[in-house]
Structure 1
């Protein structure tokens, strides 16, 4: 296969030939690394940019319009990733940052669904350990928890640990991709669709007053919840928290789902009541770890407020100080009673 041209390899990769894609990445690795070093110097950031570009190639090889120019396409992915790092202190997800026009057309999940490699990629992601898999899923497939800082906050980790796990994840992903290339793969699209239905059914059941039943059926009795710096154990905390939010008029709407067999992320819009628009932040991500299909660990990460807090009346705290910072915010109150 190494004797084939770039155009032939690209067409084969777009048709689902995983070996062809591996040959392309190996063939152009030196050029990709050269671009990263030219822009960022001999730094860990340069290595990260090359590794990110490899992940982008796995997900978006179907977007290459000129197969003979795939080398230039790969170098462009690296170059734009490097420039994004230089322009901002915040990390911009490579998949969304390298081509702003293409990024507006589809989400990363939709791009995966559009070509034959998606199930192979997800099968490889399943081979990662759950802690590494979670940071990889957030970085490359979530909508709002993609920067190193936000991932660190969501997972309760130092930023350095996030960087380390992402580096481990990219290296392990490459190994897993090679190891799973010839195996049968789960239907990643069906898994995500099933998880989205689960999110919708869970919220609908909660609004009917049946959240306790859902917890008993699908969640571990001793599930661990971490939210707003508070850690609680047991499904009773979750039930009281959800009931408190619903009583306050807060509703949740799923906007994006990322799912593997043992790690699931539900990203939600938070819809506050008209008479209390600052009750909750605009969104929340549910980061769930599963064991044999049951949720055993839940971390809630809340989207930052986009508007500046209003000036409080003297002696009266701001909404950010008093209002629940998340769905199931009553967990905090119930845990202190």
Structure 2
């Protein structure tokens, strides 16, 4: 694997070295264009803290999408465009476009993608997730919520979800980003697990859980896939255990509410399931439009559950 050795490598060379797994190349590329990226963020957001957050978000997006850059010598405009999109999305108060590609994308079904591009994209995804798994459980959950969940919570929503101050969420996220870069450097030459297989398995488990609930078999499935002391949490408070969760699902079904699986994001011991909530025709406002299951796993079984409900339109 060739490293960045030239005194002043071109953007095209840095992009290629990044695709080959060179963390130093990515750092050099982002460092070269950081001032321009921050200038774009400041012009749109005005606040230095928000601008720095936008640049950090854009840097992670760039890492995960480096294989989509068709003209490596245009890395600067591409990076600034990513920052611009992140800022505009923040201004619209919608989730930033940082979610994992859907299963079709992970399977290499994107239009126009050739074998080399597909392999490259898969390798980058697996490398990134290998690094995510190296984070502590708290930092791993924080970065997954912020950067890999399709319906990304705001800082305030994340704070409410875990019962901590907003400042704690910000500091955790900054630490997670820093440690993620270090973890990527440490795992660049490692054998990376197949994130696609893990996501597929988690998606199948979500579908099986919903089917078991609708068929009245959730208790049976829970005995196999949840720990005996599984808990549902609101902030830091444990609200109830296995019976509470089973009864809650049954109550929703009795009220005519159905959950429709959307996507799954899975790390070593943190899983996020995204669901649409389908309300009955006679009570269209019974539940918010969507919910995310945020699960902490223990020995591959659900041990803690928190629910994040998407805000009503």
Shifted more, 169-178 versus 158-167: the winner is 158-167
SS of structure 2 residue aligned to 1:295: strand
Query: Structure 1, residues 159-184: CA drift from partner, whole Å, max 9, x if none?
Result: 22211111011001000000111111
**Partner SS, residue 191 of structure 1:** helix
Q: 1:147 to 1:91 in 2, by over 3 A?
A: farther
Q: Give the Cα–Cα distance (whole angstroms) in 2 for the partners of residues 289 and 251 of structure 1.
A: 23
Match of 2:266 among 249, 256, 259: 259
RMSD of aligned residue pairs (Cα, Å): 2.7
1:298 aligned onto 2:298: no
Residues 167 and 111 of structure 1, relative CA distance in 2, 3 Å threshold: farther
How many Å apart are 1:48 and its aligned residue?
2.4
Structure 1 residues 203 and 108: alpha-carbon distance in aligned structure 2, compared to 1, 3 A threshold: closer
Which residue number in structure 2 is paired with residue 165 of structure 1? 172
Match of residue 96 from structure 2: 93
Change (3 A) 1:94 1:284: closer
Q: Which has the larger radius of gyration?
A: 1
Gaps of 5+ in 1: 97-105, 307-337
Q: Residues 67-122 of structure 1, C-alpha deviation per residue, up to 9 Å, x if partnerless?
A: 1121332244335545655x46x4752638xxxxxxxxx94776666513000000
Q: Report the Cα offset of residue 270 of structure 1.
A: 0.9
> Which of 218, 224, 227 is matched with 1:220 structurally?
227
Q: Structure 2: state its 5+ residue gaps.
A: 109-120
Alpha-carbon separation, structure 2, partners of 1:268 and 1:163: 26
The DSSP-based 3-state class of the residue aligned with 1:220 is: strand
Cα distance in 2 for residues equivalent to 1:186 and 1:156: 33
From 9, 20, 44, the equivalent of 2:14 is 9
Are residues 278 and 48 of structure 1, via their aligned partners in 2, closer, same or farther at CA, if it must alter by over 3 Å? closer
Match of 2:58 in 1: 53
Please say if residues 152 and 162 of structure 1, whose CA atoms lie closer than 8 Å, have aligned partners that are also in contact: yes
The residue correspondences of 1:176-325 to structure 2 (distance < 5 A) are: 176-227=183-234, 231-306=238-313
- Correspondence list, 1:19-168, <5 A: 19=22, 22-36=24-38, 39-40=41-42, 43-82=48-87, 87=91, 90=93, 93=96, 95=98, 107=101, 114=108, 115=121, 116-168=123-175
Say which SS state the counterpart of residue 95 (structure 1) adopts.
coil
8 A contact 1:56–1:95 mirrored in 2: yes
TM-score with structure 2 length normalisation? Answer: 0.83
After TM superposition, which residue ranges in structure 1, 4 or more long, deviate above 6 angstroms?
none
